[in-house]
Every structure is written in structure tokens, then in C-alpha cells.
Structure 1
Amino acid sequence: MRPTIPHRLDRRPSSRIDTPTPAVYPYEVTALLERGWWVLHVADLDVRGVAATLAEVRSAAELLLARALDAPVGSVPMTISVVRFTRGSLIRSRW
């Protein structure tokens, strides 16, 4: 009698395979003021979010990255670039 060898397809595939893992390097979050809302964009993950005020940008970015990566809020390293357009100039700042 031949021994039964379990087949690899008998195991359920993990749902976390397609989930990107948090990176070691910080994610770059760009915040741009558009029609009174701060629009957040993370190009590496191609995700977007919004914040009502500049003071809310950091917490909204932390929540956006946490949801995109299925990680605890505040555990994903990031840098935020704030882009503001004024008359005749462009102001970029980072924090």
C-alpha cells in the first residue's frame, strides 16, 4: 500500500500574500491643497486620501498608510511633502 502524500493544493492560500508589506524606507506622502481640501497621495502604493486642514494631514496620512498596508496606525515610516501654489510661485516644504 502506498503512503498518502498530502498535496500542496490542499492548504488554503493565505489572504495576506497580495498585501504589500511595510517598507523599511519611509513612504513619500504628497499633500496638495485642492478646492479647500488637502489631497494626500502615496505614489508607491497608488493610494489617495483627504484631510480638511493642514493640521490633520499627518494623522490622515498615518491612517491612510495603515489601512493600505494593514498595519497599526503610526507604525509605517513616512515623510510628508506639502505643496502650495501661490500667485506666481510654488512652495514645497517637508516634515
Structure 2
Amino acid sequence: MSWPCQTGSFGDQSFSTSSGTGKKILASQDPIFDAQKCGPQPGWYAISIHMLHAREGSNDYFLKYFKPVAMTGYSIYLYHITLEDANRVRDDLGLPLIDSE
């Protein structure tokens, strides 16, 4: 089984999956890193413990509102955010809701 996954990085590192469903996103393009503006988005996220505890607090909503569904190694947490989860948190943060497609 494979899932589309989003990842963010501060460098220009390669990212691929055996199924080819991975999507490489630089930090400046990823909603995780601009949470105050974009808020949670539906999807699968792989986030390092270092990013979750970043000084600027841009990932605080992951720690406050979501539980990881799995861990990869000792420092990467996997999150699955449904449309309903994202909208529940967006409503709580005062952000516009995402329309279902």
C-alpha cells in the first residue's frame, strides 16, 4: 500500500518513493512552514521532531491538535490529516475552511 506524501526541507534534497507518489516541497512552498498563513491542509505529512519544535512555532498546531499515526525511525512522525480534521482545526484557528472537491 502506498500513499501520496508531502515533505518539506530547508535544503535541496532529493525525495522519491517506490510508488512515485511522493511530492517534494521546499520549506517556502509548504503549508507546514507557513502555518500562521495557510493552516492545516489535508494529506499525509512526514515531519521531523526538530521541525515540530521549531523556535518560530510554525508547526505548533501539529503538536496541539493532531496525533501522529506512526513513526519512521526515532525522529520522523507521520501524520494523516483528513479534510474534516483540517477544517476542524482551521475553524478553531479562525482560518477559512477548505471546500470539499
- Give the TM-score taking structure 1 as reference length: 0.29
Q: Give the helix-richer structure, 1 or 2.
A: 2
Greater radius of gyration (CA): 1
